[in-house]
Amino acid sequence: MATPLPIGLNTYCLRSLRWNDRQLLDYAAAQKMDVIFLQDSLDPRTKDQAHWAEVKRWSEELGLKLETGGGGVFPKSPELFQASVDNIVYNARRAAAMGSKIIRMVCFGQRSSMPPGPALRHLETMVKLLKAAKSQVEDLGVRPAIEVHKDFQAWEFKQMIEAAGRDYAGIYLDTGNPVFVHEHPMTTIETLAEYAVTFHLRDSVVYEHPKGIAVQWVPLGEGNVDFPALLKRFRELCPREVSVIIKPITGRLPAILPVNDSAYWDSYPQARASEYAQFLQLAKSGGPYEKYMLIEDAPGKPAGIVPLVQAQQKEHLERSIAYGKKVLDLGRRWRS
């Protein structure tokens, strides 16, 4: 029987609670996690180098492997290229000081936020950026982990990693973002599992809609993505032990991909019909989320909604952690 993969939680799932790093570490330990992924920290001391060493000590005392990194790295203009390199190196120093072996990076928030020009041109800029920071990042003993976000498709990320150097850069594999670029998460796994350095699980409902295809994030195990199959395929294709991080980001309205509008495809001039067909099959199997969910980003939300959002985020994360442990058989510490 295969050894269970380590299980962790992504702290962004608890963003509305606005906990400091110590509170997040204590919570992860209480949930009997093996790993904590500290993402987009809200701690008031997040830029304090003394705090970085503190976080490393806390995680070691609690028996938690820690992973972290930064956010967006793509330069907003050519003149800011060096500033982007400096940002990567800064976040690599912070990650190394906290004991993380990887540094998270995001290219773009979504496909529509890319600058004018073909996506492959921006991919080439990302490769140049990664190479420009390479010597300093490697000296710190960390690896870039490029998050699969709502920007590039899996084949494009693969091209990026191969061009930057697969022994240097890796992939922050995420199952929730691919559906926003009309990609089945299984396509993502089969294309990128070999490059994964951290693996984050997020579920979605994907279904046909009169205006195209709707996608919405839901607690793990409550969408129409087959996670036992994804995890099985991941273990077949990933050559190393990688932490599996539970990452439900819920409380958001469904997004509609206007795939029936020819203008939508202008951003995907090299879209692959076979991969879209697999995504379309997923959409045909799904329907709207039927359980209760408070929508935190709905227009005109009442001022008193924050405590309810906080409670929902915590409850959805714990529901998802339970699914990861009991259904996907993830984690080690909780068994003892």
What confidence tens digit (pLDDT) does each residue in 56-107 have?
999 999 999 999 999 999 999 999 999 999 999 999 999 999 999 999 999 9
Question: What is the rounded average pLDDT of the residues 182-190?
Answer: 98
Note whether residue 264 is domain-resident.
yes
Statement: the pTM of the whole predicted model exceeds 0.95: yes
Question: What is the rounded average pLDDT of the residues 10-27?
Answer: 98
Confidence label for 336 from pLDDT (cuts 50, 70 and 90): confident
Note whether residue 12 is domain-resident.
yes
Note whether residue 288 is domain-resident.
yes
Q: Which two tokens stand for residue 150?
A: 């709502």
Percent of the chain with pLDDT over 90: 96
Scanning the chain, the segments in alpha helix (DSSP H) are 21-30, 49-61, 81-98, 119-139, 154-164, 185-192, 227-237, 273-284, 306-326
Note whether residue 145 is domain-resident.
yes
Question: What is the rounded average pLDDT of the residues 25-49?
Answer: 97
Question: What is the rounded average pLDDT of the residues 250-268?
Answer: 96
Contacts of 223 (CB under 8 A, 6+ apart): 203, 204, 205, 206, 217, 286, 289
Long-range CB contacts (within 8 A, 24+) of 274-278: 275/153, 275/155, 275/183, 275/184, 275/187, 276/182, 278/184, 278/186, 278/187
Between the alpha carbon of residue 154 and those of residues 181, 184, 193, 232, 295, the distances in Å are 10, 10, 10, 19, 29
Task: Give SS3 for 212.
Answer: strand
Confidence label for 276 from pLDDT (cuts 50, 70 and 90): very high
Residue 109 has pLDDT above 80, yes or no: yes
Note whether residue 2 is domain-resident.
no
Which CATH number goes with the domain that contains 281? 3.20.20.150
Q: What is the pLDDT, as a whole number, of residue 250? A: 97
Number of domains in the chain: 1
Note whether residue 66 is domain-resident.
yes
Q: What is the pLDDT, as a whole number, of residue 229? A: 98
Q: What single-letter DSSP state applies at residue 155? A: H
* H or E element that contains 17: none
Residue 301 has pLDDT above 80, yes or no: no
Residue 195 has pLDDT above 70, yes or no: yes
In this structure, the number of other CB atoms found within 10 A of the CB of residue 25 comes to 22
Residue type, 246: I
Percent of the chain with pLDDT over 70: 100
Nearest to 162 by CA among 209, 133, 115, 130: 130
Q: In what order do the strands lie in the sheet with 212-218?
A: 203-209, 212-218, 255-257
Residue 176 has pLDDT above 70, yes or no: yes
Domain region containing 179: 7-335
Q: Which two tokens stand for residue 176?
A: 């929730």
Residue 296 has pLDDT above 90, yes or no: no
Question: What is the rounded average pLDDT of the residues 217-224?
Answer: 98
Question: What is the rounded average pLDDT of the residues 37-49?
Answer: 97
Q: What is the pLDDT, as a whole number, of residue 302? A: 79
Confidence label for 169 from pLDDT (cuts 50, 70 and 90): very high
In terms of pLDDT, which residue wins out, 321 or 297? 321
Nearest to 143 by CA among 105, 172, 192, 102: 102
State CA 221 to chain mean position distance: 17
The answer to whether 309 touches 251, Cβ cutoff 8 Å, is yes
Average pLDDT of every residue of the chain: 97
Nearest to 5 by CA among 81, 65, 80: 65
**124-128, 135-139, 305-309 — which is least confidently predicted?**
305-309
Q: Is 261 exposed, middle or buried (0-12, 13-18, 19+ CB in 10 A)?
A: exposed
- Tokens 């600058």 sit on residue: 115
Nearest to 7 by CA among 296, 287, 200: 200
Confidence label for 1 from pLDDT (cuts 50, 70 and 90): low
Residue 303 has pLDDT above 80, yes or no: no
Q: What is the pLDDT, as a whole number, of residue 2? A: 82
DSSP for 40-57, written as a single string: S---TTTT-HHHHHHHHH
Note whether residue 1 is domain-resident.
no
Question: What is the rounded average pLDDT of the residues 44-55?
Answer: 97
